[in-house]
Structure 1
Amino acid sequence: MTQPVPMVDVIRGDMVESRHAGHAVICDASGGIVRSWGDPDLAIYPRSSCKMIQALPLIESGAADAAGLGPRQLALSCASHNGAAIHTRPVTEWLNALGLGEDDLRCGPQEPADIPARDALIRAGDSPCQVHNNCSGKHSGFLTLNRHLGAGSEYHEPDHPVQRAVLEAFEAVTDETSPGYGIDGCSAPNFACSVHGLARAMARFAAARSGQGTREDAMVRLREAMVAHPELVAGEGRACTSLMRAMNGVAVKTGAEAVFVAILPDQGLGVAVKIVDGTTRGAETAVAAILSGLGVLDPQHPAARALLETPIASRRGIPAGRIQPTEALLTGWS
C-alpha cells in the first residue's frame, strides 16, 4: 500500500470527527523493513527529527572533544527546546566558552515556547533573541564545528563546509542520495530522504556500539546524551521529554510538520513516522502507539496514556471525546 494509512482518530461523542493519516517504517540494523504503513519510499523533509544526524560531524571531526563538550551540550545539539532558562543558560555559556555570542548564531530569534520565559521577557520589555530559538543548541554545535574547521561565518549556507559535512553524514546513514533540500525554520538546509531512509538511519544509531568506529562512537554518545537529558532535548510538557522519561534507553525526537523518530538500542530498531497533514498531535499519538506495540513503552504509564487516549473536554471540563490510535496501529503486534 502506497497511500497514507489512517493512524489517529479524533472522536467527539460517538463519531470520528477528524482522522490523521500517515506513513511509518520500523527498520532493523541491516536496513530491512520490519513493518511499515503507507509508502516507505515517500520522500520527506525530516525537519528537526534528524538533528542527531546533523550533529554527527561535530563529534566525528574532533570538534566536540576539542571544545570540551559534555553530554549536556550534545543533548542540546540534538534539541528542539522550549527556550526555558534550563536551555538558554547553557547555550549562552557554550557560546561564551567559544568566545562567541548571540550575534554569531544564524538561526534567527524565536519567542520561547516556555511560558514563564516568555512572560519574563514581556515583563522586562525585552524581545526574544536567537538563543531562545528552539534550534540554538544545534546551531551552537554548527558554530563549534565551524570554528574547528576555520571556515567562514555563514555556516548555515548549503555550500558551506559545515553543511557539506552534514550532507555527507546524512546520505551515509540514510544510505540514500538526497534528492534535495529545503530551508528549515532555523535557516539551515534540511535534506530530504525517504521514510525508510530516515528509519534506516535511526536503526543505525540503535545498533551502534562504542569501539566499532568513529561514526558509531559518535552515534552512541549522541543517543546516550539525549536519553540522559530528556529535559534538554525538548522541555516540560513535551512528548519527547515525557516519552524518554517513560522508557529505558530509548531516544525519540520530533520534527516540524509531524515527523517523529525513535531509536531502540536494545532491539536494534529505528522508527520513522510522518503524518501527512503535518499535525503534531497525530505524530505524537502514532509514535506512542508504535512504541507501545514494540513493547518499549508501557501503555499504562501516564506519559503513554496521555497520548494513547488523550481526553477531549469542553471548556467547563465536561468529557467530550478522545484522541486515539486507529486499529491499523493497534493490531498485528506479536
Structure 2
Amino acid sequence: MTQPVPMTEIWRGPMAESVHLGHAVICASGGEIVEAWGDPATTILPRSSSKMIQALPLVTSGAARVHGLTSEQLALACASHNGAAIHTERVNRWLADLGLSDDNLRCGPQDPDDKVAHKALLCSDTSPCQVHNNCSGKHAGFLTLNRHLGGSAEYIDPDHPVQKAVLDAFETVTGETSPFYGIDGCSAPNHASSLHGMARAMAWFAGAREGVDANQTAAIQLWQAMVAHPELVAGEGRACTELMRACKEPVALKTGAEAFFIAILPTRKMGIALKITDGGTRGAECAIAALLVRLGVLDADHPATRKFMNAPILNRRGIEIGMIKPSAALV
C-alpha cells in the first residue's frame, strides 16, 4: 500500500468525527522492515526527530569529550525543550563554559512553552531570548562542535563544516543519499529521507554496540542520555517525557514538528518512525503510544499512556464527550 492509512481517530458519541492518516515503519537493527503501515518509501522531513543524528558528530569528533559534556548536555543536544528554567539555565551555563552568550546562537528567540517561564517573562515585561528556543540545546551542541572544528560563526549554513558533518552522519545512518533539505524553524538545515530510512536509522541506534566504532559508541551515549533525562528532552506534560518515563524498558522517544515521531528500543534492537500527513500532533502522539503498546513496552492503562492514547475528550463543563484513539490497524 502506498497511500497513508488511518492511524488516529477522534470519536464523539457513536462516530469517528475526524481521522488522522499517516505512515509508520518498525525496523529491526539490520534495517529490515518488521511491520509497516502506509508507504515506507514516502519521502519525509524528520524535523526535530533527527536531533540525535544531528548530535552524532558532536560526540564522534571528540568535541563532547574535549569539552567535558555531561549526559544532561547530550540530552539537551537531542531536545525540543519547553524553555523551562531547568532547560535555559543549563544551556546558559553551557554557553558560558564556551565563553559564548545568547548572541552566538542562530536559532532565534521563542516564547517558552513552559507556563512558569512564560508568566515570568510577561510579568517582567521581558522578551524571550534565543536560549528559550526549543532547539537551543541542539545549537549549543553545534557551537561546541564548531569550536572544535574552527568554523565560522554562521554554523547553520548548509556548506558550513558543522552542517556537512551532520549531513554525512544523516546519510550514513539512514543508508540513503538525502535528496534535499528544508530549513527548520531554528534555521538549521533539515535533511529528507524515506520513512524507511529514518526507521532504519533509529533501529541502528537501538542495535549499536559499545566499542565497535566511534559512531556506535556515540549512538549509545546519546540514547542513554535521552533515557536518563526525559525531562530535558521535552518537559513536563509532553509526550516524549511522559511516555519515556512510563515505558517498562529503556526507550528513547523524540517528536518532530508537523507530526513526526521516532522511537529507539535498545532492548529489542528496533526503531520506529511515523508521520501523520496532516501535521496533527495529537495524531502522532496517539499513534506512537499505540505502537509502543503493540510492542509490549508500554501498558495501555498507564496514566501517561491514557493522556495520549484512548484519551478522553472533555467539554467545557468537564464532561467526557469523546475520545482520541488509535485506528484498529495499529492495535
Aligned to 2:199: 199
Aligned to 1:112: 112
Aligned to 1:217: 217
Q: Structure 2 CA distance, aligned partners of 1:315 and 1:150?
A: 56
Q: Structure 1 CA distance, aligned partners of 2:78 and 2:198?
A: 15
SS of residue paired to 2:306: helix
Q: Structure 1 CA distance, aligned partners of 2:315 and 2:99?
A: 51
Q: Structure 2 CA distance, aligned partners of 1:297 and 1:314?
A: 28
Q: Normalization by structure 1: what TM-score?
A: 0.98
Aligned to 2:33: 33
Q: Structure 2 CA distance, aligned partners of 1:269 and 1:290?
A: 12
Aligned to 1:301: 302
Q: Structure 1 CA distance, aligned partners of 2:30 and 2:48?
A: 24
Q: Structure 2 CA distance, aligned partners of 1:314 and 1:198?
A: 38
Moved over 2 A (4+): none
Q: Structure 2 CA distance, aligned partners of 1:14 and 1:44?
A: 34
Q: Structure 2 CA distance, aligned partners of 1:16 and 1:313?
A: 16
Aligned to 2:58: 58
Aligned to 2:100: 100
SS of residue paired to 1:116: helix
Aligned to 1:311: 312
Deviations 1:63-85, CA, capped at 9 Å, x for gaps: 00111101000000000000000
Q: Structure 2 CA distance, aligned partners of 1:49 and 1:308?
A: 20
Aligned to 2:285: 284
Aligned to 1:321: 322
Deviation at residue 32 of structure 1 after TM alignment: 0.3
Q: Structure 1 residues 74-83 or 295-304, which shifts more?
A: 295-304
Alignment length, in residue pairs? 330
Report the identity percentage. Answer: 65
Q: Structure 1 CA distance, aligned partners of 2:116 and 2:91?
A: 18
Deviation at residue 319 of structure 1 after TM alignment: 1.4
**How do 1:217-296 and structure 2 match up within 5 A?**
217-247=217-247, 248-296=249-297
Deviation at residue 212 of structure 1 after TM alignment: 1.3
Aligned to 2:166: 166
| Structure 2 residue runs without a partner (length 5+) | none
Q: Structure 1 residues 307-316 or 71-80, which shifts more?
A: 307-316
1:13 aligned partner, one-letter code: G
SS of residue paired to 2:330: helix
1:18 pairs with 2:18: yes
1:137 pairs with 2:145: no
Deviation at residue 211 of structure 1 after TM alignment: 1.2
Q: Structure 1 residues 296-305 or 29-38, which shifts more?
A: 296-305
Q: Structure 1 residues 246-255 or 163-172, which shifts more?
A: 246-255
Aligned to 1:90: 90
Aligned to 1:69: 69
Deviation at residue 313 of structure 1 after TM alignment: 1.1
1:283 aligned partner, one-letter code: A
Deviation at residue 301 of structure 1 after TM alignment: 1.1
SS of residue paired to 2:329: helix
2:277 aligned partner, one-letter code: V
Q: Structure 1 CA distance, aligned partners of 2:272 and 2:139?
A: 25
Deviations 1:80-131, CA, capped at 9 Å, x for gaps: 0000000000000000000000000000000000011000001111000100
1:273 aligned partner, one-letter code: L
2:329 aligned partner, one-letter code: A
Deviation at residue 58 of structure 1 after TM alignment: 0.1
Aligned to 1:176: 176
Q: Structure 2 CA distance, aligned partners of 1:161 and 1:126?
A: 35
Q: Structure 2 CA distance, aligned partners of 1:79 and 1:137?
A: 6
Aligned to 2:42: 42
